[in-house]
């Protein structure tokens, strides 16, 4: 299939070229439109299931193997790319840009993602496009267009050909398996916090809770862990996992950590800060609508979250700060702010896997930066901070 370049503004393209350099920026733009080369499944608590899960993935046609260092991680890869061309004379289903990215990876077309499906009838073989007219799949309509508009849920069309097929939990067909997808960088963020059973730990932007439960696993269900997120729906999902895994030492709260920090009279040993960000590291991304003004606004909010967490952290306590973006404003500049204005020092991480070795704004602290086109995963940033005594 022909190479797809993400639809980005001239402003963002110029920003990336200055930030990363022209060659790395070009590699990033080529790879951010594709799924990650490596997906990782975290097998929670029960490493004895790893071999069976690998066998199941291979039976479904996916390459899979156990991680060479972390025995509870399974590394697998998507299938593809497959040749996809526009089917001349066929009707079209237009889907929103985020739904399109899932369909591009093999997902079916679900009713909430459909924006337009003029004259489509059940059984029609259709071209599926995003809102920017990028072809993302070929499908077979499971409803006619009137049903798609009337119904609030269900499969609108079955995906019969897409450029990629990524592994999914549904493919494993076993809801009892103690597994969830967690990228290697996200796994590293948790493990580099170095949590101990006796610690009091805060995960301040916790949903969907994968890092929360990883922290719990690392501390053998003994640390006192508080998970906070602004979304009631997402916190309910964490509470559901608490019940599923029969965990008694994790408490989940709905709330904004900036406001909660003003109310709580509690100090934590360690805090994981993974704040909302511009998400320029997520893959695949076919359309980027982020501008530099939004990036700077995000950075202001991230500093406020870090300030709130500082009030909740003990002297000599540790923060791991991570994002799934590649900007300097949301990454290096946040860490520089913590060092210059908040009495922190950047410390070495125990596990460093990033292949990225480029200097951003003459920043010399020991951090990890993952960039699509250099690393086989999503774009990600990790820094570890220690608070000095007041």
Cis preceding linkage at 167, omega within 30: no
Q: Please classify residue 199 by burial: count the beta carbons closer than 10 Å to its beta carbon, then call 0-12 exposed, 13-18 middle and 19+ buried.
A: buried
Contact 110, 99 (CB under 8 A): yes
Q: Which helix (H) or strand (E) element contains residue 185?
A: helix 184-192
**Rounded Cα–Cα distance for residues 28 and 371 (Å):** 7
First to last CA, the chain: 59
Round to whole Å and give the CA distance between 52 and 46.
Answer: 12
Inter-residue contact 281 to 324 (CB < 8 Å): yes
Buried b (16+ CB within 10 A) or exposed e, 56-79: bbeebebebebbeebebbbbbbbb
Q: Which residues are known catalytic residues? A: 324
Token pair in block for residue 46: 């029960």
* C-alpha to C-alpha distance for 4 and 111, rounded to whole angstroms: 26
User: Cβ distance 201 to 195 under 8 Å?
Assistant: yes
Q: How far apart are CA 1 and CA 165, in angstroms?
A: 15
> Could you tell me the sign of the dihedral formed by the alpha carbons of 365, 191, 43, 249, in that order?
negative
Torsion angles phi and psi, residue 277, rounded to 5: -145, -175
**Helix/strand number for the chain, H first, E second:** 12, 18
């Amino acid at each position: 299939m022909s190479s797809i370049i993400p639809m980005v503004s001239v402003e963002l393209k110029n920003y990336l070229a200055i930030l990363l350099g022209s060659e790395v920026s070009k590699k990033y733009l080529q790879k951010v439109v594709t799924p990650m080369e490596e997906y990782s499944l975290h097998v929670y608590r029960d490493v004895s299931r790893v071999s069976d899960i690998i066998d199941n993935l291979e039976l479904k046609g996916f390459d899979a193997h156990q991680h060479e260092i972390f025995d509870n991680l399974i590394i697998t890869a998507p299938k593809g790319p497959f040749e996809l061309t526009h089917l001349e004379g066929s009707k079209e289903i237009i889907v929103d840009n985020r739904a399109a990215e899932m369909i591009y990876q093999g997902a079916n077309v679900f009713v909430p993602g459909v924006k337009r499906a003029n004259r489509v009838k059940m059984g029609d073989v259709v071209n599926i496009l995003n809102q920017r007219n990028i072809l993302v799949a070929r499908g077979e309509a499971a409803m006619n267009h009137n049903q798609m508009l009337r119904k609030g849920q269900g499969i609108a069309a079955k995906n019969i050909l897409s450029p990629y097929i990524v592994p999914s939990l549904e493919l494993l067909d076993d809801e009892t398996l103690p597994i969830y997808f967690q990228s290697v960088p996200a796994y590293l963020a948790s493990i580099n916090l170095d949590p101990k059973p006796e610690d009091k730990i805060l995960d301040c932007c916790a949903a969907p809770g994968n890092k929360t439960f990883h922290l719990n696993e690392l501390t053998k269900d003994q640390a006192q862990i508080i998970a906070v997120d602004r979304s009631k729906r997402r916190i309910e999902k964490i509470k559901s996992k608490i019940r599923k895994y029969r965990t008694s030492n994790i408490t989940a709260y709905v709330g904004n950590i900036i406001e909660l920090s003003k109310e709580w009279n509690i100090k934590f040993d360690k805090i994981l800060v993974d704040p909302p960000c511009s998400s320029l590291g997520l893959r695949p991304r076919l359309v980027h609508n982020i501008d530099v003004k939004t990036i700077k606004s995000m950075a202001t909010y991230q500093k406020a979250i870090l300030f709130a967490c500082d009030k909740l952290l003990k002297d000599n306590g540790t923060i791991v700060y991570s994002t799934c973006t590649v900007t300097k404003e949301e990454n290096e500049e946040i860490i520089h702010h913590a060092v210059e204005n908040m009495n922190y020092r950047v410390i070495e991480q125990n596990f460093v896997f990033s292949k990225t070795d480029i200097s951003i704004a003459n920043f010399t602290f020991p951090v990890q930066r993952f960039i699509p086109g250099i690393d086989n995963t999503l774009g990600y940033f990790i820094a570890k901070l220690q608070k000095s005594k007041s």
